[in-house]
Amino acid sequence: MDDPQFWKLALAVVAPACFYFGFRNWRLARLIDDTPLSRIRSAAQGYVELAGTAQRIDGQPILAPLTRLPCVWWQFRIEHRTGVGRNRHWASVNQGSSVAPFRLEDETGACLVNPAGADVRPGSTITWRGSAPWPVPPGEGHRFTSLDGEDYRYTEHRIDEQVYVNVIGEFRTVGGVEATDVTGEVMRLLSDWKQDQQALLRRFDADQNGILGQAEWERARALARAQIEQRPPAPPKPAANVLVQPRDNRPYLVAASDLKRLARRSRWAAGALLAGFLAAVGVLAFLVFGPG
């Protein structure tokens, strides 16, 4: 490739890509370094880092779709090899991710983790090949080995049960005791009474003129309020702690790996990518402004 225009175009694409991914890795490393680890019981509402073992919520276990193995989170991709000769490549034909919450527990308490919108770094990954659009699970005549000639490739990422997980995100407490909206309840009760106009008039039309005047409406409101206030209070919903994607768009990270090691790798990657950005910009400037 001796065409200068090709290299100018290639470098014009490579340079911003290196800068973007370099900045993204640097930001991830800073995020891990600057967010202190909290305990679940004493965690403040807001942006925190929590760590503990991943557990399924009581009920049916979550099964990864390709391997049918129990886990708390999964992501899969199925690719088909298409094209001929040098144009052969893998094209994605099916993919998906789990959005079901799971339980995170440390020695002080537990909370729910909602993985929707998270940058998930899984602990288990498996890739194998086969000849069908959907793989046969283990134990049904298929093992995770295959010939290179088979044209489907399956990849599954999982966070398995009881794995140690770090999460950086927004910590909230939802539910718990809530004040009764008496005014709203009164308005809803009056609206229900209005559905039967004849019964409403029989109860509150004191002068029997077919219209409820101001004083008559006030009597209806007072009776509705008294009826609402005499009702036994509804049982409060139990409070629950949950980690979710931050509302201010700060990074949301769920990692089944050591965060300090991840931060070191991210710093090295950021340095290499930013060096690549500077090199690409330098060569591009030479090609554009250099002699000739």
Tokens 């309840």 found at = 185
Give pLDDT, residue 238: 61
* CA dist 184 → 188, 189, 212, 222, 240 (Å): 6, 9, 21, 14, 25
Q: Closest by alpha carbon to 173, among 43, 58, 49? A: 43
Q: Looking at residues 211-229, what average pLDDT do you find?
A: 81
In a domain, 193, yes or no: yes
Backbone angles phi, psi at 290, to 5 degrees: -70, 180
Give pLDDT, residue 193: 76
Give pLDDT, residue 18: 85
Question: Coil, strand, or helix at residue 124?
Answer: strand
Query: CA 125 to CA 154: how far, in whole Å?
Result: 11
Residue 118, token pair as written in the block: 């998270």
Do 203 and 105 belong to one domain? no
Query: CA 236 to CA 227: how far, in whole Å?
Result: 20
In a domain, 34, yes or no: yes
Residue 45, token pair as written in the block: 């509402």
Q: Looking at residues 239-253, what average pLDDT do you find?
A: 87
Give pLDDT, residue 239: 64
Do 109 and 151 belong to one domain? yes
Q: How many residues does the chain have?
A: 292
Which residues contact residue 111 at a Cβ distance below 8 angstroms, ignoring those fewer than 6 apart? 40, 43, 50, 103, 104, 171, 240, 241, 242, 243
Do 85 and 150 belong to one domain? yes
In a domain, 6, yes or no: no
Q: What is the pLDDT of residues 139-191, one digit of tens each?
A: 444 445 444 457 899 999 999 999 999 999 999 887 644 445 667 677 777 77
Do 118 and 133 belong to one domain? yes
Number of domains in the chain: 2
In a domain, 268, yes or no: yes
Give pLDDT, residue 114: 92
Q: Domain of 142?
A: 17-176+238-280
Q: What is the pLDDT of residues 11-35, one digit of tens each?
A: 777 888 888 778 777 777 777 777 7
Q: How high does pLDDT run on average in the chain? A: 81
Per-residue 3-state assignment (H helix, E strand, C coil) for 225-275: HHHHHCCCCCCCEEEEEEEECCCCCCCCEEECCCHHHHHHHHHHHHHHHHH
Q: Is 27 exposed, middle or buried (0-12, 13-18, 19+ CB in 10 A)?
A: middle
Give pLDDT, residue 80: 92
Q: Which of 195-204, 244-253, 268-277 has the highest mean pLDDT?
A: 244-253
In a domain, 285, yes or no: no
Q: Looking at residues 109-135, what average pLDDT do you find?
A: 90
Do 191 and 101 belong to one domain? no
Residue where a domain stops, chosen among 219, 235, 251: 235
